[in-house]
Structure 1
Amino acid sequence: MPKGRELVGLPVISQDRGEELGRIQDLFYDETSGSLRACLLADGGWLRQPRVVDFTALQARGPGAFTVSGAGAVSHEPPPGTRRWQELKGLRLLNRDGRELGIVEDLVVELPSGQVKALEISTGLVNDLLEGRKEITLEGQVNWGTDTVIVG
């Protein structure tokens, strides 16, 4: 399963015209459903409205791109009740007993559903280098705060 950082930077291509609509710049996560709801596209333009593609509109993921049916899949409004992927990175992760498990570094995503199955966490630079980052499976209730995520 890919991580959020592996999705960021991928192009989104229109199947009807074969043109690149933009590259994924950020992801919108819905804490209630536990899934990705949309992607923010970067198109290199200044002073433009945000370009958002609903995650369900992404039809295919090849080795290096997503496709959508056409330019009509692009909107300008992020889905309500979502948080940006970049806002989730750096949150403290605690279990229900208050024990700190680490710092959220990334989301582990199931494709094509967009369901977030786990969080990749850092337990410190030395541990990351020696043991690698850990993945905490999201099971049961997950409470997302402004500074902390509580699992368990």
Structure 2
Amino acid sequence: MPKGRELVGLPVLNQERGEEVGRVQDLLYDEKSAQVKALVLAEGGWLQQPRVITFDKLQSRGPKTFTVAGTDSIDSELPAGLRRWQEIKGLRLLNRDGQELGLVEDLVVDLPSGQVKALEVSTGLVNDLLEGRREVPLTGDFKWESQGIIIW
């Protein structure tokens, strides 16, 4: 299963014309359903509106590219209530007793469903090098706060 960082930068192609409509700049994540709900495309200029494709409008979903039926699938407003992938990195992961388990480094995403199956967690540079980063499955209850995530 790919991680969020592997999806960022992938091209999004128009199926009708076979041309690239943009590249993934960010993922929009719904913490309640543990689902990637939309892709934000990299902007072409400094005053352009955001370009967003909701996950349900994608014709194919990775792992090397995404496709849409046409440019009418692209919206210019970010859906409300979703968290940006870039905002998730660095959040503290705590257990219910308040013990820190590490810092969230990434999401592990099932394609083509968009379901987030786990959080990739760092416990420090030395541990990451010696033992590798851990994946904490998103099973059970999670409470998302502005500064961290609490698992029950």
- TM interval, short-chain normalised: over 0.9
CA deviation profile, 1:40-79 (whole Å, cap 9, x unmatched): 0014322100000001222214552111111111001111
Aligned sequence identity (%): 66
Aligned mates of 1:16, 1:43 — CA distance in 2:
22
* 5+ long unaligned stretches in structure 2: none
* Aligned positions of 1:81-120 closer than 5 A: 81-120=81-120
User: In structure 2, do the counterparts of structure 1 residues 64 and 89 end up closer, same or farther at CA, with 3 Å as the change threshold?
Assistant: same
- Tell me if structure 2 keeps the 8 A contact 1:21–1:43: no
- Give me the whole-angstrom Cα distance separating, in 1, the residues matched to 2:81 and 2:63: 31
- Give per-residue Cα distances to partners, 1:75-128, cap 9 Å, x unaligned: 011111101000010000001122111000000001111111100000000000
Matched positions, count: 152
Relative to 1, partners in 2 of residues 1:112 and 1:63: Cα closer, same or farther, differing over 3 Å?
A: closer
Give the counterpart letter for 2:35 in structure 1.
Answer: S
In structure 1, give the amino acid aligned to 2:135: E
- 1: CA distance, partners of 2:15 / 2:147: 40
Moved over 6 A (4+): none
Provide the residue aligned with 1:3 in structure 2: 3
TM-score w.r.t. the length of structure 2 is 0.96
CA contact (8 A) 1:61 1:67 kept: yes
2:86 match: secondary structure: helix
Aligned residue number for residue 35 of structure 2: 35
